[in-house]
Amino acid sequence: PAPLSAAMVAQPQAGSDERFAHSVGEHFEAFLENYSSEVPEGMDTSAADEPAPRDYIDQCNEMKSNERNTLYVDFSHVQDHNTELADAIEADFHYLEPFLRQALKNLMKREHEEYATDDKDFWVCFFNMPTQLNIRDLKTAKIARLMSFAGTVTRTSEVRPELIEGVFMCETCGTNSDPVPQQFKYTQPVKCKNPSCPNTSLWALRTGPGEAKFVDWQRVRVQENASEIPAGSMPRTLDVILRGEQVERAKAGDKCIFTGTLIVIPDVRQISGLPGERLPPRRGGGR
């Protein structure tokens, strides 16, 4: 892949965001395919008697053997391999995450084609971030960035299915839409893709194979650790959304380090009920 520059990481040029994201995905795929923690970066291993073990190829093999779909990436490995790549992922994780997941799927298809079927999703989880924040540190400047914070779990919800991508059939002409990504609320197509159809509101979710994708979903409430609460202050809390193989891994009373991205939910009622359920329409443009 073409090299990433520090300037591109800091501020991609207008209109180049998607190209930049694809470039990040290509670099991440190369990292997963080649990284070895036993070989210093830049060392020539061509004369070695045996090839060095590759950390994430070995983990991909374990994923296939154990029928798992989550790859755990030590963020310090990314920093050792390519600082520009690490900076890009950290600065804009919310936007780049689908491209990182696609990079993993590309690698799994090459290594285990029979396992990485088109309808199977793979997930990337980072750990060992350079900085661990407190809940009080999570300000608006941290939105969409990759980060980690520590806290104590006080409550967990039951595990529920969440619709993450859906194909919708137009109830006017019967045309199927392209896959529509979902994010905490039930999202339908804006307009039928049939040019002669005026439909913008009558849709039926398709639930056949490859048409609707669901993932396990759980919400946990996390409170500041007692040692981090300033004298005379009430403890702060934060809701954390867990998906896929991360559900049911924490229970009330556990002290955990969470790694992910901070996002803003305009209406918290959208995550208080069943993920993926259809919400009643609201008038006034959502105001």
pLDDT for position 250? 94
CB contact at 8 A, 222 and 152: yes
Q: What is the pLDDT of residues 56-71, one digit of tens each?
A: 999 999 999 999 999 9
**What CATH architecture is 6-127?**
2-Layer Sandwich (3.30)
| CATH class for the region spanning 131-279 | mainly beta
pLDDT for position 103? 96
Which residues in the chain show pLDDT less than 50?
A: 7, 10, 12-15, 47, 268, 270-287
pTM equals 0.80
pLDDT for position 211? 86
pLDDT for position 46? 53
Residue 152 bridge partners (DSSP): 223, 255
Question: What are the structural domain ranges in the chain?
Answer: 6-127, 131-279
